[in-house]
Every structure is written in C-alpha cells, then in structure tokens.
Structure 1
Amino acid sequence: MDTIDHLDYDDIEAAARRIHGHTRPIALAPAESDGSLWLAMEFLQHTGTFKARGAANFLSAHLEEHTLPEAGVTIASGGNAGLACAWAARRHDITATVFVPATAPAVKVARLISYGARVKQIGDSYADAAAACAQFAAETGALQSHAYDNPLIAAGAGTLMQEIHAHLPSLDTVLVAVGGGGLYAGIATAAAYYGVRVVAVEPENCCALHAGLEAGHPVPVPVNSIAADSLGARTVTPLALTAAAGCDTCSLLVSDDAITAARAHLWDDRRLAVEHGGATALAALTSGTYIPEPGETVCVILCGANTTLADLDTPEG
C-alpha cells in the first residue's frame, strides 16, 4: 500500500473519501479587497496543522486493509506530524508512540501528551528521532508512519488543494511552504490536475526541495533556520520531485528575517498567530521574492500554528 513512488489525483480523491467528516474543511479569507490574494487558514485544522489530513488518511487506509498491528503506530517528528498521528490514533483507540528531538518545542511536547501519545525525546535532530523510531518499530512490530515521506500522508495533504480549488476555481497560483515535501507533493499533484501553478517556498538554510530540483535527485542539505522545527528536513522526498516534474512549479528561498517579518505582519495586521513554518509561504510575498502578475489570483497556505504568543517578537509587543 505504501510502496508507490508517485501520486495520482485518484489517490487524493481516495484520501478525501476516507477523511471526510474527520477533518475540518479549509477556511479561506480574502487578504485583498479585489479578491486577488487569499489566505488558506489551515492552521485551524485539528492539531493546528495540515498534518491531520495525512495522518487520518494513513491510519484509515491501514484500518481498511486490516494492516494495523496490535503494537499500534509509531512516528518520528519535529512535533507537528507526531501531533497529527497521536490525534488520529486516539480517534481509533490506537496506541501511538512518538519520537521527537530533545529540542522539540515544549508546546508541541505538551500537546502530544495531552493526546495520549507515548512521547520519547531522543537526540538533537529529526534524524536522531527517526533512527530511534525505526529501531522501536523493528523491535515491537509497531506500524511506522512518516512525517512526510509516505504516499498516504502526501495524498491526505493533497485534499487541501482539492478544497481550495472548490472555493476558488479561477485560482492561478498557490504558495506553499516546503520541508520534506509531503504537503508539497500532495498540493502539486492536485494543482497539476487543476492547472494551477505552485510556488514552493523554503528557508534559505532549509532548502531540501530547491537543492533536489537543482541536482535532479534528493541531496542532503544543512538544516539551520528559525523554521527548522517544522521545515527542517535534510533531504526531500522522491515523491516531491516526481510531483514537481508533473506540474508548473517555481522554487523560491526566503531568509529567516523575512519569515519573522511575515509572521509579525500576520499578528500585527490580522491578529493571526502562526508558527514560523506557517508564515514561510507568505514571506515570499511580503519580502518581494514573489511578485504576482497583474490580474493573477493567488492563495497562500498558512499551514501551521503550534506556537505561543510569548515568542511573537513584534513592534506592538
């Protein structure tokens, strides 16, 4: 079920069927009075990020196929994917064991515990947590999920684009933040079906997709960004590169300062509190890295808000 290296729109339609009634439908807000810019407020999703879509699809598909072991499910995560996995597992009374780096934000660890997950904090990076998770799965027989490199996870994420297009059928361009590429792969697959352009936005020092597109294959990159807790993948998934080959994609990089400024803008101007990864796509617009053409209709995905108001360092305090 999980071994395919590409996505089709049929996979996204199947995911939409599985998660219908379990996830919250997307809320769209106009950011400009002329309707040229829209904000997709996916941070209102269960667990605070789009990850709930993929987790719900992953577990529902395995339940359909009777491939869920008694040991439950396990996942390594910087925080958000673990939250989604724990939330989806709790809905089905499934044991979830979540491995996160010791550096994971305290707010995410606390929420994991509130969802009933068994939390294991290992090492200083996602790679350390992933290695421990793989060992745990091998020893216990638990079903190993992945934060982004899984077709069921990516297909679930792609349902977001399906819902956006239903509301905005004349949409020209969607801007999306990219970490390991799960969200991007789903968005790009659906966008290609609809003829929508995708602008993939990454931090300058967390640019796994950008580097992979330049090299033509996944390559390891440094991870050093204010948004690394949610976008800090060392390599992009092959699913993302395959999806990029099938759609109109523009890959852009933004600085940490631009991300911080975009995040502050959302709070100061709109009273929307998102995490740094959630503001990364918008940073391409607010920094002038991406300038829409006259008449272009653009939607920016605000993908996550697992943060605290205490770290919103803005001029208004």
Structure 2
Amino acid sequence: MSNAGKMPKEEGIDHSVSLIREGYLYILNKRRSFNSDIFETRLLGKKAICMGGKEAAELFYDVEKFKRKDAAPNRVVQTLFGKNGVQALDGQEHQHRKEMFMSIMSHEELTRLTDITKKQWALATTKWEKADQVILYEEAKEILFRTACEWAGVPVQASETKNLTNYFSAMFESAGAIGPTHWMGRNARNHAEKWMQELIEHVRQETITPPENTALYRFSGHRELDGNLLETEVAAVEVINIIRPIVAIAVFINFITLALHHYPEERKKLQAGDEKYAEMFIQEVRRFYPFFPFVTALVKKDFTWNGYQFEKGTLTLLKHWKN
C-alpha cells in the first residue's frame, strides 16, 4: 500500500458511530478504501490516527514515540483494566511494575500452572460424563477461574465460585459495551475489587498466608519506586490482572472448538501430538478470531514517520490482527 504524501483523511465531524457499527472491520475497511496503512479520522470529537501492518506495529510499540497512560477509553478502564494498573503505566514505573509480574513467571511456576490446569480440566470432564448437556463457554470460564485462583494463591469458597466467575467474565464481556451491559461490567469489577482488597488486607495482617511464590503474596508485599507498599486498591487491580486474562481464555477455547467444527481435518493433525503444530494452530485461532479489534496509545512527542506528521497527544489506534 502507498505511504507517500499527505496522510489520507476521513472527512466528517465524527466517526465514533462508524467505529462501533463496523467494529473489527472499521480500520480494515478504511485502509482498503484509502489504499493506505494509515489514515486520519475523528473519534469522540477528537483527531485520531488509525494504522495497520508490520511497519506500523513496529512504530506503535516504540516507547519513545507512544505512551499507554490515559490512552484507553474510561469505560474500558472501568471494566477491563481497572484504575492505575500496569497497562496505564510508562517508563520506570511500568518497568518496575512489570518486574513484579515477571517475578511469578518462572519456569517452575508456569509448570505448576500447567499442572493445575490439567487437574481442573480432568475434574470437570469427569463431572461432564454424568451431565445431560455441557455449555462449554460457561464451564470453561469456571474451570479457568478455579485454575487462576489456585495458581495465584487466592482462596475461594466453593459456594462463591460461580458468582465470582461471573464477576470476572463480565469485565471482559462488557469492555466495549455501552448502556446496561457496561454498567453491569462496572458493577462486577467493583465487587471483584472489594473482594480482592479484603484478601490483600488479610495477607498484610498475616491472617491469610498464601505461598510466597504466588501473585497474592508477592503483590500484597510489593513496594513501589518510592519504597511504599502498593496501595491496596492498586494491588487488588493487579492480582485481578493475573486472574481475569486467564478466565478470558475461555473465549479462545470456544473459538478453538468452533475452528475444529469448521475444519474437522485439523483434529487428526492435533491428535498426532506434534506440539509445534499445536502451537501454530492456536496462534492461527488467535489471528482468525481476535479478542479485540485494535489497541490504543497516545503520541508521546511530535515526530515524522514515512512523511506523515504525528502530533503530541494524538490518539492512535493499531489494528493488531490480519485478515
């Protein structure tokens, strides 16, 4: 596609409705109509730049040119990410918080996560043998919630599991919604954060003692760059940032099942036990059925790329999936 000359511009006062209506296809459709990997539009009353393609992705993730803080719409922060989580940080703050997350990502801990996952699925499939029907998506969410909590050192009563699973799934199910669905997502996050805050306070008061290598233990004791303990509210957001994405994998489990339904010949290839092929299959599912249509950032400073001007503070959207 051509990248020469003035940046293509979508005419009109605002195109937020088009973005909501076209969803995943919005940026793709406009890139095709402009025959360009980049174009300018207006969203929520402000100038925005939309991009796609390999070169654009490399540019977008240049931390010297773009920042994530304050880029996500408030409704996404209120449902999906939570306030002051790692996704909204830049620079040293982001690196320091990221190190907290990476401290629980050792080979041993990831192996333990794998073992817990296998155990939880085995327990579930044994139960399914006696069931008249299985609603895979609902079952997968609950399995993954139990898996995530066990791995993160988060104690959960059996009687709480279903409600808590629904709270965590509502966060990603309502991320881009408006109206009642959005408010249900915010309400779910409020309940989940309150529950997690209480657990963190118990850990700090030593009335609960999770294993030292778990997220609940590590995040409860984490200190920021100024030496102070992470605020309880923020620590809760970050523990949720461990559990919620694991629960969200239920979406891809459904997509995997759908893919095997549409392409039954893939089942035999996967059953052959080739791990490399299995990984390729999973990555193709992620590409073909993307979770979100784009990611957002703000231009950090004025700069020029391929002859195009980027002004500080401009909202930029990257379409991070291929057709």
Shared fold by TM > 0.5? no
The alignment's TM-score, normalised by the length of structure 1, stands at 0.26
Between 1 and 2, higher relative CO (CA 8 Å, sep ≥ 6) is seen in: 2
Rg comparison, structure with higher value:
2
Judging by fraction of residues, say which structure has more helix: 2
More strand by share: 1
